[in-house]
């Protein structure tokens, strides 16, 4: 008889070995992990250690290394007993750390006893159990012969139960839906003993695969976007397990890779939870048998029920996580908004439909002089709101930039611009209102100062235009008086031309003096006055004069050059275009196209002399036309067909 230490983190696995080895007379000690086993080994000095490989706290290889490092425990033989590794992997691990034999679960009781006896040696090997004298050999032998098979069946059940517990524990800790289904699929194939396994999880509508995984055989869904058909469709519809032999994968509702279109055995179970149907699990090609057993079916149904609940919990957990993330996002957004509101210089006030103040930011304290504690819970009438605002809020209407006067706590009157907006709940019902008030007292004061300055400036400009006009008219009068003393016709003509030029400039200042806009003049009105003056000056009764300059307004810097150009061109046409009192027509047109102004003077007189190059003029009048056209940044064109037409085009960025 020997003292044997059994080390495994699963109690059912330890119980199997304790039952088997205790039956043949050995003394058994149990430990749930390597650390506990090391303490027991130091205290009990066992003759043999049988240990699992994968365990919490301290695994099997680490335990062996610790035993070999202790002189008093180094000779103790160790057997690895594992289901997590293949026999070859476990043997390599045993050699690396100094363990002896390796037993890969599941294993028959005979092999376990042989390995234990070999490790203990003949002196401590198990003896044949003692039989009472009154029992005949015929009574005992059948029971003894049945013992190995019954013990093996017990180990198989124990192994499956332990695996079921392990898989269930793993699934309970998983939080990723895809990994949950994948781990379930792998665990089910291994535990039931199938060559291939697949699991499909459907969307809530049951139309599309949300997760589809397989092990051993590469499966793909053939019903993407359509109701699941075939055997799997029937399984989902009836919500009952299905067991078959020799069936094609296309009949199942999934397709396999080429070369594996049929399966020798099939087991399919629905994945259910108390709340709903989630999908299916299918296992194919049973290992060591031609078909799946009732036990396989019961185990698969149990596993599917476990994963159904776990999947539902994961989905619920995921939904909770999303909801919590959304709440955190909303909370962060709310905090950011509150921070913005609180840091605003404007007064931002929240109130109910009954006019009770509920929020009051620092800007409101600064604008109105009341602290938040002084006004919260009080009626907004403390601020003397305009009548009808609350009524408009009840109807869901707002007020934009309403300018009014308020009285601060200290009695000082301030100008404010108020915007009032209704506040609505999630259903869209109006539950209150928010008012944003901006102190515009300084702004209004600045506006008044600007208006006062503008009035003074306008008065000054009017006076300037008036005086310039008077001075120019005085110059015209002096020229007229001087021309009365002249006898030379050429000199007289020069004086008259000079008077017309001065008049055209004086007329601009006169129109500006009369205009409400001191920066620009109505050029149509100016043009009519200028043409009338030129017509009187040249006594052009035989020539019909026409003007057109609708909706054209020019500033003084452009109006004076344009007036002088028109003066020169019209004067030239009246003097030279209609000789000997010839009748005709003369038109002046000023048009605007977006930001481009065109000035055209045309007549149907005798035309422009061919020998004169208008681009290189010798006369003062045309020289002035060129000079003023360049001053405007414009282009000058001339046509002489059935009369004469001059056209000047220049840019004006002002509307």
Average pLDDT over residues 562-591: 86
- Cα distance between residue 13 and residue 158, in whole Å: 7
**How do 553-555 and 277-286 pair as beta strands?**
unpaired
**pLDDT at position 154, please?**
54
Would the pLDDT of 59 be above 70?
Answer: yes
Average pLDDT over residues 498-518: 68
pLDDT confidence tier of residue 311, bands split at 50, 70 and 90:
confident
Average pLDDT over residues 577-601: 88
Would the pLDDT of 162 be above 80?
Answer: no
| Of 307, 273, 275, the residue nearest 199 (C-alpha) | 307
Q: What are phi and psi of 532, to 5 degrees?
A: -65, -40
- Residue 98, Cα to own-chain centre: how many angstroms? 58
Residue-wise pLDDT tens digits, 205-223: 665 566 777 776 555 544 4
Average pLDDT over residues 316-326: 83
- Mean of pLDDT over the chain: 79
Would the pLDDT of 148 be above 80?
Answer: no
Would the pLDDT of 265 be above 80?
Answer: yes
**pLDDT at position 131, please?**
44
* Cβ atoms < 10 Å from Cβ of 446: 11
Would the pLDDT of 275 be above 80?
Answer: no
Would the pLDDT of 181 be above 90?
Answer: no
pLDDT confidence tier of residue 318, bands split at 50, 70 and 90:
confident
- Cα distance between residue 436 and residue 161, in whole Å: 70
Question: Would you state the structure tokens that stand for residue 377, as one six-digit string?
Answer: 């819970």
More confident residue, 345 or 400: 345
pLDDT confidence tier of residue 653, bands split at 50, 70 and 90:
low
**pLDDT at position 38, please?**
94
pLDDT confidence tier of residue 64, bands split at 50, 70 and 90:
very high
Q: 4 - beta bridge partners?
A: 28, 48
**pLDDT at position 397, please?**
73
More confident residue, 263 or 171: 263
Would the pLDDT of 130 be above 50?
Answer: no
* Cβ atoms < 10 Å from Cβ of 66: 18
pLDDT confidence tier of residue 33, bands split at 50, 70 and 90:
very high
pLDDT confidence tier of residue 23, bands split at 50, 70 and 90:
confident
More confident residue, 520 or 545: 545
135, burial (CB in 10 Å: exposed 0-12, middle 13-18, buried 19+):
exposed
Average pLDDT over residues 570-577: 84
pTM greater than 0.85: no
Average pLDDT over residues 144-157: 53
Would the pLDDT of 356 be above 70?
Answer: yes
- Residue 127 makes CB contacts below 8 A (sequence gap 6+) with 1, 24, 25
pLDDT confidence tier of residue 74, bands split at 50, 70 and 90:
very high
Would the pLDDT of 193 be above 90?
Answer: no
**pLDDT at position 504, please?**
73
Would the pLDDT of 253 be above 80?
Answer: no
**pLDDT at position 514, please?**
66
Average pLDDT over residues 619-637: 88
Would the pLDDT of 428 be above 80?
Answer: yes
Average pLDDT over residues 634-652: 90
**pLDDT at position 36, please?**
94
**pLDDT at position 258, please?**
44
pLDDT confidence tier of residue 647, bands split at 50, 70 and 90:
very high
SS3 175: coil
- Cα distance between residue 210 and residue 318, in whole Å: 15
pLDDT confidence tier of residue 461, bands split at 50, 70 and 90:
low
Would the pLDDT of 333 be above 90?
Answer: no
Percent of the chain with pLDDT over 70: 79
Question: Would you state the structure tokens that stand for residue 352, as one six-digit string?
Answer: 């109910």
- Tell me which of 89-93, 295-299, 365-369, 488-492 is least confident: 488-492
**pLDDT at position 178, please?**
83
pLDDT confidence tier of residue 431, bands split at 50, 70 and 90:
confident
Percent of the chain with pLDDT over 90: 15
- Cα distance between residue 472 and residue 300, in whole Å: 113
**pLDDT at position 654, please?**
67
Would the pLDDT of 433 be above 60?
Answer: yes
Would the pLDDT of 152 be above 60?
Answer: no
- Cα distance between residue 477 and residue 459, in whole Å: 27
**pLDDT at position 257, please?**
42
Structural contact between residues 483 and 513, judged by C-beta atoms closer than 8 angstroms: no
**pLDDT at position 31, please?**
94
- Cα distance between residue 35 and residue 327, in whole Å: 45
pLDDT confidence tier of residue 390, bands split at 50, 70 and 90:
low
Would the pLDDT of 255 be above 60?
Answer: no
């Amino acid at each position: 008889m020997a003292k044997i230490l059994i080390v495994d983190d699963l109690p059912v696995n330890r119980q199997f070995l304790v039952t088997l080895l205790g039956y043949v007379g050995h003394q058994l000690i149990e430990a749930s992990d390597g650390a506990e086993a090391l303490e027991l080994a130091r205290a009990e000095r066992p003759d043999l250690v049988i240990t699992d490989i994968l365990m919490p706290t301290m695994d099997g290889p680490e335990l062996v290394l610790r035993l070999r490092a202790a002189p008093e425990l180094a000779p103790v033989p160790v057997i690895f007993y594992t289901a997590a590794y293949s026999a070859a992997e476990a043997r390599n691990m045993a050699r690396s750390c100094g363990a002896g034999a390796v037993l890969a679960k599941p294993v028959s009781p005979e092999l376990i006893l042989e390995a234990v006896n070999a490790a203990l040696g003949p002196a401590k090997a198990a003896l044949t159990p003692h039989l009472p004298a009154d029992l005949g050999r015929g009574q005992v032998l059948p029971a003894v012969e049945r013992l190995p098979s019954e013990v093996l069946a017990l180990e198989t059940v124990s192994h499956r139960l332990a695996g079921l517990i392990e898989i269930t524990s793993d699934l309970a800790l998983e939080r990723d839906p895809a990994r949950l289904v994948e781990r379930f699929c792998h665990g089910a194939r291994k535990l039931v003993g199938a060559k291939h396994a697949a699991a499909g999880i459907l969307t809530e509508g049951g139309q599309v695969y949300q997760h589809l995984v397989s092990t051993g055989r590469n499966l793909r869904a053939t019903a993407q976007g359509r109701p699941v058909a075939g055997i799997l469709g029937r399984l989902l519809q009836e919500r009952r397990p299905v067991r078959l032999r020799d069936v094609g994968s296309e009949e199942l509702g999934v397709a396999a890779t080429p070369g594996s279109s049929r399966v020798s055995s099939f087991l399919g179970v629905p994945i259910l939870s108390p709340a709903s149907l989630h999908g299916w699990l299918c296992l194919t090609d049973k290992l060591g048998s031609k078909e799946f057993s009732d036990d396989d079916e019961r185990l698969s149904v149990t596993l599917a029920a476990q994963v159904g609940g776990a999947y539902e919990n994961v989905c619920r957990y995921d939904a909770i996580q999303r909801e919590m993330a959304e709440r955190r996002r909303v909370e962060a957004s709310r905090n950011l908004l509150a921070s913005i509101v609180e840091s605003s210089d404007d007064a931002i006030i929240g109130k109910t439909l009954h006019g009770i103040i509920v929020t009051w930011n620092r800007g409101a304290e600064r604008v109105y002089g009341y602290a938040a504690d002084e006004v919260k819970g009080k009626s907004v009438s403390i601020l003397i709101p305009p009548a009808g605002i609350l009524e408009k809020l009840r109807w869901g209407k707002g007020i934009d930039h309403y300018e009014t006067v308020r009285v601060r706590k200290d009695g000082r009157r301030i100008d404010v611009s108020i915007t009032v907006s209704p506040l609505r709940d999630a259903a869209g019902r109006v539950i209150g209102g928010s008012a944003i008030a901006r102190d515009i007292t300084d702004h209004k004061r600045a506006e008044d100062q600007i208006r006062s300055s503008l009035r003074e400036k306008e008065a000054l400009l009017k006076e300037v235009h008036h005086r310039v006009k008077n001075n120019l008219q005085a110059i015209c009068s002096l020229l007229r008086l001087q021309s009365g003393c002249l006898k030379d016709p050429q000199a007289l003509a020069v004086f008259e031309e000079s008077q017309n030029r001065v008049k055209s400039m004086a007329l601009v200042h006169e129109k500006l003096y009369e205009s409400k806009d001191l920066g620009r003049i109505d050029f149509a009105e100016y043009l009519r006055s200028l043409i009338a003056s030129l017509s009187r000056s040249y006594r052009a009764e035989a020539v019909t004069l026409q003007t057109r300059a609708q909706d054209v307004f020019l500033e003084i810097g452009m109006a004076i050059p344009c007036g002088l150009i028109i003066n020169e061109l019209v004067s030239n046409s009246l003097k030279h275009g209609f000789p000997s009192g010839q009748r005709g027509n003369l038109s002046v047109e000023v048009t605007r196209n977006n930001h481009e102004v065109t000035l055209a003077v045309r007549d149907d007189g005798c035309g422009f002399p061919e020998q004169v190059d208008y681009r290189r003029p010798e006369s003062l009048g045309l020289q002035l036309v060129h000079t003023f056209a360049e001053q405007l940044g414009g282009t000058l064109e001339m046509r002489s067909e059935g009369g004469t037409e001059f056209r000047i085009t220049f840019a004006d960025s002002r509307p």
